[in-house]
């Protein structure tokens, strides 16, 4: 059983924490990963900074800008990730980012390097589904990497079932319209109907809810409708200006995990 499947099989209410590689400092990537897991994170989602992140709100965009200025890029990230499995031996790790830098790196080379350092899967929101299915699905399988796809309230049932068939990790349910870390709350009734509609489809993959989840109350609510939740922007805000980023990350996760 792969690390992602093992995580979902072993417990409910999984916490997936997102942070941007190279933020707040270039060499924070591995110390942050270790601190998050030790504090209670179940899955790590490491953002690959990019200058034009379509789905990301201002907090994550800002962290990408800082990380790029710090010197973070894919070669540096893969060098850092050589220490990944020493720091977090059993925790699922995903790389999240955009297609442009991956294509510039060379997609097969990227997949090969990701597999070599122990990455479990990828989230590439701007990778067209047809392109993935026709050109890259077999490569992902060759290197043992899982693909995670995003579902929004506007995604048709036909497409959801297609995404579910193509994925063998989990489905990322976007909680509402807009970008990550949004402060405008979606209509609660419409959101509940969306979550219940997805839950009623009997999909084969587990589901995590993300976008706009910032605290324990939001996490607990998401867990009522899915297998857990993804928190990114709120964690990055907790790192902003911290003297000790790993310690700040650990405090944040413990706050989500408190009874």
Catalytic residues: 45, 56
Smallest Cα–Cα separation from 245: which of 62, 78, 30, 15?
A: 30
User: Which structure tokens are listed for 121?
Assistant: 């899967």
Burial environment of residue 41 by CB neighbours within 10 A (0 to 12, 13 to 18, 19 or more): buried
Angle at 107 between CA 105 and CA 109, to 5 degrees: 70
Burial environment of residue 12 by CB neighbours within 10 A (0 to 12, 13 to 18, 19 or more): exposed
Q: Is 167 helix (H, G, I), strand (E, B) or coil?
A: coil
């Amino acid at each position: 059983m792969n690390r992602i499947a093992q995580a979902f099989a072993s417990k409910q209410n999984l916490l997936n924490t997102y942070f941007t590689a190279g933020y707040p400092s270039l060499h924070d990537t591995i110390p942050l990963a270790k601190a998050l897991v030790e504090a209670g994170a179940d899955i790590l989602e490491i953002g690959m900074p990019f200058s034009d992140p379509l789905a990301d709100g201002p907090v994550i965009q800002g962290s990408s800008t800082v990380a790029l200025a710090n010197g973070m890029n894919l070669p540096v990230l893969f060098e850092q990730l050589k220490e990944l499995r020493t720091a977090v031996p059993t925790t699922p790790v995903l790389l999240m980012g955009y297609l442009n830098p991956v294509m510039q790196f060379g997609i097969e080379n990227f997949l090969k390097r990701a597999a070599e350092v122990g990455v479990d899967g990828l989230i590439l929101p701007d990778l067209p589904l047809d392109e993935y299915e026709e050109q890259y699905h077999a490569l992902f399988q060759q290197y043992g990497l899982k693909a995670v796809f995003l579902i929004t309230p506007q995604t048709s049932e036909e497409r959801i079932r297609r995404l579910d068939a193509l994925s063998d990790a989990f489905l990322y349910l976007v909680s509402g319209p807009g970008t990550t870390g949004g402060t405008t709350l979606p209509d609660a009734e419409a959101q509940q109907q969306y979550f219940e509609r997805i839950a009623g489809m009997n999909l084969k993959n587990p589901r995590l809810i993300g976008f706009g989840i910032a605290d324990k109350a939001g996490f607990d609510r998401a867990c009522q409708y899915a297998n857990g939740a993804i928190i990114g922007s709120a964690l990055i805000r907790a790192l902003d200006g911290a003297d000790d980023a790993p310690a700040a990350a650990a405090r944040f996760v413990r706050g989500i995990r408190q009874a």
